[in-house]
Structure 1
């Protein structure tokens, strides 16, 4: 019994550690285009509209990647799809660095996004299934904190001035994932629940049946609503906050420090809220997270001093990105093993729609003259909707017993 427990502990630790490494590189790659934006624009003589295509291309690739990656994982295994996803975003991150014109840049960013999108549902499914119900929230949060830490690493590259050669961040984001793939091949265990399902030759369940039948429909729709509006706010902060801060009179360097504080807060918040998820009822988590988001948005919109802005950015990261991590930990609870990665992938894909729409809405509001405070405070209705959806999910969690 002791040997089995020790073996299980090593399995859990190995899975979380390897998935954390992938999440770290995912966070770096997600931020890479923003860090290298000035260098890319200068190298290819791109307008702001053309740079918008570069930013949008990566997000666009995340949508099909998340859904297809989850769907494939429920059929051929989480480990295989994760390895392919990591190899894909590694290769096309290098492709971004080697691109010769706008068209090749856009293609490289789309395919990088496909790989990034396909990786996340499998990271969540693997970590969730290896940890089991008792430690699921903490395990997923430990893994997912790699994403904001990777983004913080990218921010450090920008602050330190290493982006003088804009290709550097893409070389790092390409070479390191390709080095991680052999580690996944040799050391990452496949989900034991997936193996058990395969051994029992469980019948295939269609995507529609898995997401919208056997009591899953309400949970699926509520997850989609929560993901959509939470990621909308997260990506408004990621994409527009530096420009909003400069517009308020802060220097680009100060804006960089606020973004670093936001990502460090995100990492700490992901761990803290994930640990609380295993101890507090979901309704209490919803109240804590979304009240924290509303308060931090108000602070970001109204702060005028650099110190208070850094503090507001840290708190915003804790609750906005940290809250996103809690949603990622909640999603696997509502789906059976044979559709779990598909369910998580579909929610992530819908969340990416929010990620795409948020920056567009913010840009339109700024064009209408609402200003920084107007953009941030206008996010409040979406946060209220996400909070209500999460409250309803907490009630569903009491009766949902996936296997």
Structure 2
């Protein structure tokens, strides 16, 4: 009987992680889609760099309320139902993006796509962390989240194909149709979180207030700080790097290959850093991630050859997105199941403020003529702040092992 229970639990966990991985794959594709399609969109709608910054930020702006509301609703009505609605929403408006007829319709489509994407992520994190438990939490979240950079790599591959004549809309068609096909699979095969079901009847009415009670206030603030500055850098890379590379004299195809290298580095970093986070001292992990981010940003700003840019892109993806995944693994440790999705969702929402500000700041700086090096180096102070916040969280994690 015990062996049967272990087998059932293993299958339950594998099915949950696999389905969440598929959603993460599509989330990563759509998050990268605007950056990949930027040159085509700018030409189609006659947009300058500042207007493209607004297009990038419109999608990220939608992520903010989506993440917070998605987490809040998940702690009230369930992770599964909110995830299904979120996937349907971002799939539908990805299709609308491909059919946009002017700048305003493009902005609205990207914003509503972002709402769906934002609501999905805290539920993916909550489902995988809760099905795995404390012992396997880091591995489970890493396995799920590596779908995001792999999806972005898929978008970069589509971008390479687009240059052969497919058009900028192709990546949005793929990012719309596939999520809509995934929704019925979630309905049929994704189990609801057992922790959510067990804790539902005893859930407090003041879910949001729980983020600042019983010693959670300082960890919550540190999580928000680290998410804000780390995602600021990640989204500058995701949205602006292709255009920055073209501005440095690289071809569109070369830029797509660099983005592909960045996303493969991100996938490898997600798995690797998720595995070592329980094996390295807290100070060493924080130093490794953020020194790696700083070094890769400097390399991206100074590299002049395509080969060195490929290497810098891989390293940037490894540390920036891999470090982001470590933050997603850390956050669930500090919240009870009754407020876990809300806690993660609020952190993701705050992170999206950084993600939204990053492309806008980069667009403004480029419009002022600072160039690629100026954009990359401007991120350095925020990276130092994020490193200090992550160090605190890593140290506190050992005393906050909440199942």
TM-score category (smaller protein)? over 0.9
Give the drift of 1:142. 0.7
Which residue of the partner structure matches residue 40 of structure 2?
39
Contact 1:39–1:164 under 8 Å retained in 2: no
Report the counterpart of residue 212 of structure 2 in structure 1: 212
Alignment of 1:108-187 (within 5 A): 108-161=109-162, 164-187=166-189
Partners of 2:131 and 2:41 lie apart in 1 by 41
CA distance in 1, matches of 2:193, 2:154: 30
After TM superposition, the structure 1 = structure 2 runs for residues 257-296 of structure 1, keeping only pairs within 5 Å, are: 257-296=257-296
Greater mean deviation of Cα atoms: 273-282 or 110-119: 273-282
Structure 2, unmatched stretches of 5+, are none
Q: Is the 8 A contact 1:135 1:278 kept in 2?
A: no
Residues of 1 paired with 2:383 and 2:48: CA distance? Answer: 33
1:305 is displaced (CA, Å) by: 1.9
Distance in 2, matches of 1:163 and 1:33, equals: 18
Q: Deviations over 1:172-223 (max 9, x none)?
A: 111111111111111111111001112xx20424244211111100000000
Q: Name the counterpart of 1:391.
A: 391
Counterpart in 2 of 1:357?
357
Q: Does structure 2 conserve the Cα–Cα contact (< 8 Å) formed by 1:163 and 1:169?
A: no
Q: Is the 8 A contact 1:127 1:139 kept in 2?
A: yes
Residue 372 to residue 41, structure 1, CA distance change in 2 (3 Å): closer
Aligned to 1:227: 227
Task: Name the counterpart of 1:73.
Answer: 74
Equivalent position to 1:192, from 181, 194, 197: 194
Please tell me whether the aligned partners of residues 136 and 329 of structure 1 are also in contact (alpha carbons under 8 angstroms). Answer: yes
User: Quick one: structure 1 residues 240 and 94, their matched pair in 2 at CA, closer, same or farther if it must change by over 3 Å?
Assistant: closer
Aligned to 1:338, the other structure's residue is in SS state coil
C-alpha distance in 2, partners of 1:254/1:191? Answer: 43
Q: Measured at CA, do residues 46 and 300 of structure 1 come closer, stay the same or move farther in structure 2, by a change above 3 Å?
A: closer
1:48 positional shift: 4.7
Q: TM-score, normalised by structure 2?
A: 0.95
Deviates more, 1:100-109 or 1:67-76: 100-109
- Tell me which residue corresponds to 2:301: 301
Query: How far does residue 163 in structure 1 lie from its aligned partner after superposition?
Result: 6.1
Provide the C-alpha distance between the structure 2 equivalents of 1:308 and 1:45, rounded to a whole number of angstroms: 32
| 1:401 paired residue number | 401
Comparing 347-356 with 232-241, greater Cα deviation is found at 232-241
TM-score (norm 1): 0.95
SS in 2 for 1:89: helix
CA distance in 1, matches of 2:305, 2:109: 40
2:57–2:360 Cα contact (<8 Å) kept: no
How far is 1:49 from its partner?
A: 4.7
